[in-house]
């Protein structure tokens, strides 16, 4: 890593800008410890100005533009190696409706859902309670749990502030799990417990607001099932290098994949670094692995 020029892209124009800045600062600190020449870049809009002679771009941008394939396409066109998934898989994972279509086509269990329209057609086929969420947003922004039709429209209006397309999903009562992917390996499963039973924005980024148990207290068979479905979900979307897959384990013992995060948080309270630590990897180790995979692809492309 010494003398390697790494541009760390953080910030961005999305609603997750502040979280991204936290992730970026953590990455910068970790990479500096490896001896790399780190160049922090605070992206404030949709234009990215790169310094000369960048060896690799480390994407620490969450949400719109940074995580949805747009930034990845810019880097592809400029011929700059970058961490994480390519434009197509980034777009599929970021769009929760497209992702669910892929899950269902691949036989991966996922909660029943409807896409909201003005008449809310299709909702009557679901059972209450329901989860209302923007189709293209992260960090649980705009997400509500609704228990009756009286509050459904209000929840849709709230979600629509973050995206024009709204996903209405069957609420799964049970235990919330998340599984990190690194390379083609799954990391230890984490169980998330919150007093409210809802891992919302505050719980995700406030120290002590949620209990995150790693490894999750599951039997070996259930752990293997969660890791199996996580890796399948990651692969069916075409993701590469790393991701974090959110899964519900119902009270009846059934798995339901919620979503795949292609640029999971890298803040002090984030889940992927905690899973990596449980696997014996420091933050510097984790970031180094991400960069090594990006550079290996560039080497393969040049050789081809």
Q: What is 113-170's CATH topology?
A: Dna Ligase; domain 1 (3.30.1490)
**Residues noted as catalytic:** 16, 139, 205, 244, 246, 259, 261, 265
Q: How many CB atoms lie within 10 A of CB 104?
A: 14
User: Domain 92-109+172-278 adopts which CATH fold?
Assistant: D-amino Acid Aminotransferase; Chain A, domain 1 (3.30.470)
| Domain ranges in the chain with CATH number 3.30.470.20 | 92-109+172-278
pLDDT attached to residue 197: 59
CB 245 within 8 A of CB 182: no
Prediction pTM value? 0.91
pLDDT of the chain along its 304 residues, tens only?
Answer: 788 999 999 999 998 999 999 999 999 999 999 999 999 999 998 989 888 889 999 999 999 999 999 999 999 999 999 999 999 999 999 999 999 999 999 999 999 999 987 667 678 889 999 999 988 886 577 888 998 888 888 898 888 888 778 999 999 999 999 999 999 999 999 999 987 655 554 545 455 668 999 999 999 999 999 999 999 999 999 999 999 999 999 999 999 999 999 999 999 889 999 999 999 999 999 999 999 999 999 777 666 5
Query: How far, in Å, are 13, 79, 227, 251, 291 from residue 244 at the CA level?
Result: 22, 26, 11, 22, 17
Segments of the chain assigned to CATH 3.30.1490.20? 113-170
- What is the pLDDT, as a whole number, of residue 205? 47
Name the one residue in this structure whose structure tokens are 């605070």.
Answer: 42
At 119 the pLDDT is 66
* CA distance linking residue 210 with residue 266, whole number of Å: 16
Q: What is the DSSP letter of 190?
A: E
């Amino acid at each position: 890593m010494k003398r390697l020029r790494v541009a760390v892209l953080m910030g961005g124009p999305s609603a997750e800008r502040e979280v991204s800045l936290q992730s970026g600062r953590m990455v910068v600190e970790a990479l500096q410890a490896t001896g790399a020449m780190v160049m922090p870049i605070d992206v404030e809009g949709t234009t990215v100005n790169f310094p000369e002679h960048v060896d690799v771009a480390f994407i620490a941008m969450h949400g719109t533009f940074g995580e949805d394939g747009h930034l990845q396409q810019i880097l592809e066109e400029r011929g700059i190696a970058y961490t994480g998934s390519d434009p197509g898989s980034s777009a599929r994972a970021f769009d929760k409706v497209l992702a669910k279509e892929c899950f269902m086509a691949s036989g991966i269990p996922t909660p029943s859902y409807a896409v909201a329209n003005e008449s809310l057609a299709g909702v009557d086929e679901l059972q209450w309670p329901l989860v209302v969420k923007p189709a293209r947003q992260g960090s649980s922004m705009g997400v509500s749990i609704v228990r009756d039709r009286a509050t459904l429209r209000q929840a849709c209006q709230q979600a629509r502030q973050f995206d024009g397309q709204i996903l209405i999903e069957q609420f799964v009562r049970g235990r919330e799990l998340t599984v990190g992917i690194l390379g083609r390996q799954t990391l230890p499963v984490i169980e998330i417990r919150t007093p409210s039973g809802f891992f919302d924005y505050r719980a995700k980024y406030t120290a002590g607001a949620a209990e995150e148990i790693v490894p999750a207290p599951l039997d070996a068979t259930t752990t293997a099932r969660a890791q199996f479905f996580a890796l399948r979900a990651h692969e069916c979307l075409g993701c590469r290098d790393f991701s974090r897959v959110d899964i519900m384990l119902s009270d009846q013992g059934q798995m339901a994949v919620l979503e795949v995060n292609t640029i999971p948080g890298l803040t002090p309270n984030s889940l992927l670094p905690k899973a990596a630590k449980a696997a014996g990897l420091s933050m510097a180790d984790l970031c180094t692995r991400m960069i090594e995979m990006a550079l290996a692809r560039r080497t393969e492309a040049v050789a081809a």
